[in-house]
Amino acid sequence: MRLLLALLLLSPLAAAQPVLVAEPAAEPPSAPFVGPTVEYAYDDGAASVIIGPPSSFDPDMLWGNAFATESGGDEVVEVAVAFGSTFPSVAGGVTFWLLDDPDGDFDPRTGATALDSVTATPDVFGNTFYRVAFPPTRVSSHFFVGASARLLGGQDRPARVDTDARADRSWFFYAPDIAAVIDSLGTAPFGTRMDSAAVVPFPGAFMVRATGRPAGTSSSAEDPSRGAPTLALAGPHPARSAVALRVTLPAAGDARLDVLDALGRRVARLADGAMGAGAHVVRWDASRVAAGVYVARLTAGGVSRALRIIVASP
Ligand SMILES: [Ca+2]
């Protein structure tokens, strides 16, 4: 437990940040949807503690909340996170994750798999939420939303904790590459629930929220049945070891997804056969290929799509 204690570096905000940066007065842009929504949140909008890694290592850190899906909110369209003002100091942005966790235990280490992710660079800090629009994504009875980033140990403290709020549904992880363990968070080298008295000096809820709406209310512009097959990145990029690709098919049919190296040689075949209509996240384990540029090629519905992928050194 002494080791685990050393892995956590938590500071009262007042002590860590004697001078807070000014918060911008302008509201961040709102997400492009209208209609009734469900707001998932545990915090009350004011954090008293910020969390980051200790100076002994520079990890990927993931922090977020587990929620039970509410009626009328089973299609997640937005994730919102409030950041500590000591962030960011490493280029690469923040990855915002949505995981489905149907086993109902509010524990993302068991049974949770990533549905989608969006990478962006926050431009607001403090108790102002940075909002990220998600492709409308259906969740089951329970889900987990979080943010991950590559952090400088001892310097970055991006995760804001509301110590007035319940702590038993907030989770905190370190890993060398979060994307590589996102579908099996139980294997992350370090993970804790935020009410664990042994390792969490300041229990509370992370300021990580989600917005849901009734499933099936997608506008025609978002309807995957319109248009041609598409291929897009669905995870952090450049990738280090795990690459997530989002394939969207307007109609069910045969689809083939290959990865080619810079010389056009096939290095992986990720799909070859029947695939249903709609969006699918397909993962490529790039841990055994050399760093460099690759091309993902999707062939479906009589058309071909290519997407450039950069695999970074681990
Ligand atoms: Ca679970």
Report in angstroms the alpha-carbon separations of 240 from 137, 151, 314. Answer: 25, 15, 5
Q: Do you find a cis peptide bond into 88, omega within 30 degrees of 0?
A: yes
Q: Give the span between the Cα atoms of 213 and 216, in whole angstroms.
A: 9
The CA-based angle 180-181-186, given to 5 degrees, is 170
Confidence (pLDDT) at 12: 45
Residue 178 is inside which H or E element, if any? Answer: helix 178-181
User: What pLDDT, on the 0 to 100 scale, is given for residue 57?
Assistant: 87
Taking the centre of ligand 1 as the mean of its atom positions, its distance from the CA of residue 229, in whole angstroms, is 32
Q: Could you tell me the distance, in angstroms and rounded to a whole number, from the CA of residue 131 to the centre of ligand 1? A: 25
Same fold, 2-18+32-213 and 224-311: no
Q: What would you report as the CA-atom Rg of the chain, rounded to the nearest whole angstrom?
A: 20
Q: Per the omega criterion (within 30 degrees of 0), is the bond before 238 cis? A: yes
CA 101 to ligand 1 center in whole angstroms: 5
Separation CA 85–CA 98 (nearest Å) = 24
For residue 191, what pLDDT is reported?
A: 96
220 burial level (CB within 10 Å; 0-12, 13-18, 19+): exposed
> Cβ contacts of residue 313 below 8 Å, gap of 6+?
240, 291
Distance 218 CA to ligand 1 centre (A): 27
CATH 1.10.3470 for domain 2-18+32-213: no
pLDDT at position 1 is: 42
For residue 311, report the distance from its CA to the centre of ligand 1, in Å: 30
Report the pLDDT value the prediction gives residue 89, as an integer from 0 to 100: 60
The predicted pLDDT at position 304 comes to 77
Which candidate, 235, 234, 236, 206, places its Cα nearest to that of 63? 206
Output the CA 25–ligand 1 centroid distance in Å.
Answer: 38
- Domain boundaries, given as residue ranges, for the chain: 2-18+32-213, 224-311
Q: Report how far ligand 1's centroid is from the alpha carbon of 109 (Å).
A: 6
Q: Where are the beta strands (DSSP E) in 201-265?
A: 205-206, 208-213, 230-233, 242-249, 253-260
Q: What is the pLDDT of residue 171?
A: 98
Task: Report the run of H or E that residue 80 belongs to, with start and end.
Answer: strand 75-82
108 CA → ligand 1 middle, Å: 5
- Cα(106) to ligand 1 centroid in Å equals 6
Gap between the Cα atoms of 172 and 53, Å rounded: 11
CA of 102 to the centre of ligand 1 (A): 7
- CA 34/CA 133 separation, integer angstroms: 13
Q: How far is the CA of 82 from the centre of ligand 1 (A)?
A: 24
| CA-based nearest residue to 283, from 255, 244, 239 | 244
Nearest to 300 by CA among 233, 228, 243: 228
- pTM value surpassing 0.75: no
CB proximity list for 292: less than 8 A, separation 6 or greater: 261, 262, 310, 311
Q: Which of 308, 285, 133, 159 is nearest to 237 (CA)?
A: 308
Looking at the DSSP bridge assignments, the partners of residue 142 are 68
CA–CA separation, 118 and 106 (whole Å):
22
Per residue of the chain (314 residues), give pLDDT as tens: 444 443 444 444 433 333 333 333 333 343 444 568 899 999 999 998 999 999 898 899 999 999 999 999 999 999 999 998 776 666 678 999 999 999 999 999 999 999 988 888 888 889 999 999 888 889 999 999 999 999 988 889 999 999 999 999 999 999 999 999 999 999 999 999 999 999 998 999 999 999 999 987 654 444 444 567 888 888 777 777 888 888 888 888 999 999 998 888 899 999 999 998 888 889 999 988 998 888 888 888 877 777 888 888 77
167 Cα: distance to centroid of ligand 1 (angstroms): 16
171 Cα–ligand 1 center, Å? 12
Q: How far apart are CA 118 and CA 234, in angstroms?
A: 7
Using the mean position of ligand 1's atoms as its centre, give its distance from the Cα of residue 86 in Å.
31
Regarding the domain delimited by 224-311, which CATH topology (the fold level of the hierarchy) does it fall under?
Answer: Immunoglobulin-like (2.60.40)
